[in-house]
């Protein structure tokens, strides 16, 4: 547990908080003193994660949300308002993956990815602006983009398009919300060890020949390893902390150097 507890008294809502990057960020924010809301469509997993945080002496609660449904997002905002009356930190992390070539991708699958990965973050922010405006110091929106939102990648048209939209949504929202003292930034993870790293055949992306040859052996990831959720949590905490009070509209790549070698 952090000795600094620099987020004491702040309410942080993290979508996709039940596992992976979302849980990594939520854990760090809770260790710094924030009361975290693990907002996830996987309610059982979110409740288990919240119970583990509570058992560690941290403040956490699990609440259900389907970020692709406007009514569900509005219901989450209303419940957070009822329980806490405000929200200092919103982390838009929830996302889904899809590996499909443009020639075989179905329109409905493309639209589903866009609805979750792009529209979900925008709906969350729109619905939580009133709670952020009611909050105290340290009001932040942190979006989880991806280096795929900055670079091309085979068979990732829908995912890359959505994450690219998140990049510019971050910049545009930062301009709109600066007058209220709300900073909006994003991290852009590279390869991170999460459930999305498991391939359709059950194998881990890290164990594939293409990954080990290109990114480890030949150093396309200079640090020569997958990222971990904890690697995302430190930069996320910085952008949610008072150390970043003059930082807004920025995209921070957290990728072991991968984007430097493209």
Catalytic member of 110, 159, 206, 246: 159
pLDDT at 2 over 60: no
Read off φ and ψ for residue 100, nearest 5 degrees: -150, 135
83-125 pLDDT tens trace: 999 999 999 999 999 888 999 999 999 999 999 999 999 999 9
Residue 256, burial from CB neighbour count under 10 angstroms (0-12, 13-18, 19+): buried
Which CATH number is 11-200+227-260 given?
Answer: 3.40.50.720
- Distance, in Å, from the CA atom of 108 to the CA atom of 223, rounded to the nearest integer, reads 38
Among 165, 188, 176, CA closest to 113: 165
Give the pLDDT confidence score for residue 163 in this predicted structure: 97
Whole-number percent of the chain with pLDDT over 90:
77
Question: Residue 204 has what pLDDT?
Answer: 61
pLDDT tens readout for residues 144-188: 999 999 988 888 999 999 999 999 999 999 999 999 999 999 999
pLDDT beyond 60 at 253: yes
Please tell me the predicted confidence (pLDDT) of residue 91: 98
Separation CA 206–CA 228 (nearest Å): 12
Q: What is the pLDDT of residues 203-240, one digit of tens each?
A: 666 667 667 767 776 678 888 888 899 999 999 999 99
Q: How far apart are CA 114 and CA 112, in angstroms?
A: 5
Domain parsing of the chain, residue ranges: 11-200+227-260
- Residue 210 has a pLDDT of 65
Active-site annotation holds for 215? no
Q: DSSP letters along 159-222, please? A: HHHHHHHHHHHHHHHHHHHGGGT-EEEEEEE-SB-SGGGB-TTS-BGGGSHHHIIIIIIS-SST
Query: Among residues of the chain, what percentage have pLDDT more than 70?
Result: 92
């Amino acid at each position: 547990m952090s000795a600094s507890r620099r987020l004491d008294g702040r309410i942080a809502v993290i979508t996709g908080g039940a596992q992976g990057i979302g849980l990594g960020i939520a854990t760090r924010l809770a260790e710094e003193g924030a009361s975290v809301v693990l907002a996830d469509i996987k309610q059982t997993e979110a409740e288990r994660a919240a119970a583990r945080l509570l058992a560690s002496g941290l403040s956490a609660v699990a609440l259900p949300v389907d970020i692709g449904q406007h009514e569900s997002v509005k219901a989450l905002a209303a419940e957070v308002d009822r329980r806490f009356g405000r929200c200092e930190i919103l982390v838009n992390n929830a996302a889904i993956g899809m590996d499909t070539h443009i020639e075989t991708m179905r329109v409905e699958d493309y639209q589903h990815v866009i609805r979750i990965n792009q529209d979900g973050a925008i709906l969350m922010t729109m619905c939580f602006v009133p709670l952020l405006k009611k909050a105290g110091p340290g009001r932040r929106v942190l979006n989880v983009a991806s280096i795929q939102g900055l670079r091309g990648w085979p068979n990732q048209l829908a995912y890359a398009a959505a994450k690219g939209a998140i990049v510019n949504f971050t910049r545009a929202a930062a301009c709109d919300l600066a007058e209220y003292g709300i900073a909006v930034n994003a991290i852009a993870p590279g390869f991170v060890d999460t459930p999305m790293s498991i391939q359709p055949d059950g194998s881990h992306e890290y164990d594939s020949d293409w990954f080990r040859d290109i990114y480890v052996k030949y150093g396309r990831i200079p640090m020569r390893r997958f990222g971990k959720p904890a690697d995302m949590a430190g930069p996320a905490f910085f952008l949610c902390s008072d150390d970043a009070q003059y930082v807004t509209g920025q995209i921070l790549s957290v990728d072991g150097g991968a984007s430097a070698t493209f």
